[in-house]
Structure 1
Amino acid sequence: MKSSPPTSGRPLKRHGNARSELRSWMDREGYERLLREAAARDLSASKCVRDCLREYFALKDTMALPPDAKADPTSGTSPARRPASLFEAVEAAIAGALQESERRTSAVLEKLRLLACMLDQAYQGIVVQMVEADPATREARIARATESTKRWRRAVAALYRNGGPEPATDENGKR
């Protein structure tokens, strides 16, 4: 049984569990995208269209709701809920990506802070240790260098724990 299209521009109303058939033309790009989406969801193309339209209308309804929508006590109805499958999935993906980015950035900043501490201590050590080489005192110099390395590592660890070296500034207080 086919029905005639609405004449006044209003949608045709159906009652009960009646199902309606819908036919539509799509360009090749849209159709191929629909088929890829259906394959990703492991659905037929028609079921995928239904699911996508449900998600679209649920998202559209959610976006139309004020942020603090409450149930109407006179009618006994509750406000529409956010679509769990699309909107919250996108929100969760963005939040997860942000947390991962923050974690990676923090790790890089920690390594840079350690490197800055090491460079600062290395520069000070090089300036202090600059003396001419004397072959007669080679063993003593090796022992001093070993001890100096241990002190350097302790100083780097302490500087790292304290947050790193202070930034260099000129006489005007600029970096």
Structure 2
Amino acid sequence: MLIVSAHRLPAPIVEETPTPKPKAKSSRASAENTPKKSAASKPASTKVSFAGTWTGTASGRINQAVFGQTSFSSNYKIQISADERMADWTSSAWIFAKFQAPVQKNGRTLSWTTERNDIAGATTVNCRLEMESNGAARYSESSGLVNGIFKGAGYEISGILIRQ
């Protein structure tokens, strides 16, 4: 019996070199490849000014203690100070009365609250002026007697006011 054996040589030694990682683009190169935003693509400023005199009519429903719920309408003249911190206004519903209150601004909305005292009791009046896209403003007002014999009676009205 003949046994043949083949001598095997070891495999050649090959040094492995790691695959090079792609180089990160320099900030200059990436800045050149980034599309530039033009001044025209910036969003329009959302700053809204309420300063000035606003007039118009608001209407809605009033819950009167004696007559129940009825329709209600009032003409308004509202003066917002130049710094938008104060509102002075009159309403045809409150004959001979002038009101003044500090306002809070939140984006496209001004709001303020005042209290009126008369023979019926104390009335809390909540007012809101919200700018519309056409430059007019939606005015809303709600009120309720907080004490007195007619406690709970009140109203909610709204309407469009125009800056004069």
> When the two structures are superposed, what TM-score results if normalisation uses the length of structure 1?
0.22
Q: Which has the higher contact order (CA 8 A, sep 6+)?
A: 2
Which of the pair has more CA radius of gyration? 2
Choose between structure 1 and 2: higher strand proportion.
Answer: 2
Q: TM (normalized to structure 2)? A: 0.23
The structure richer in helix per residue is: 1
